Amino acid sequence: MSLGAGKLRERVTFEKRSDDTRDALGSQTSAWVEHATVWAQRIPGKGDEVPVTGQLAVQVDETFVVRHRTDLLETMRLVWRGAAHEIVALSPDVKREFITVQCTKGIRDGR
């Protein structure tokens, strides 16, 4: 994949779940915490209406391309322009220069 740095013009943040968070009462709770913020290329996808609990909800599939990293997991979520996206797949290219991040937004909003 040939992708110049000029194509990486969107800032995205990868977040991971932290079970070390305490609420106001001191109880352990799970929260999303920032893992890494990187430059990405956004490739717009398609949107669909899907039935969820008897109603129609909008689901948008999007793809982002980031420079290769070894610390990304599919259990994380990607946040772009304040919207959380569930990571569906991480696909590194053959040369391990970039990772294609396939995401969905709208139904589970990054879990």
List CB contacts of 23: < 8 A, sequence separation 6 or more. 29
Q: Residue 29: which pLDDT band, with cuts at 50, 70 and 90?
A: confident
Residues 38-59 have pLDDT tens digits of 999 999 887 666 666 676 667 7
- Distance CA(8)–CA(78), nearest Å, equals 15
> Does the predicted TM-score (pTM) go above 0.85?
no
Least reliable range by pLDDT among 8-17, 27-36, 47-56, 57-66: 47-56
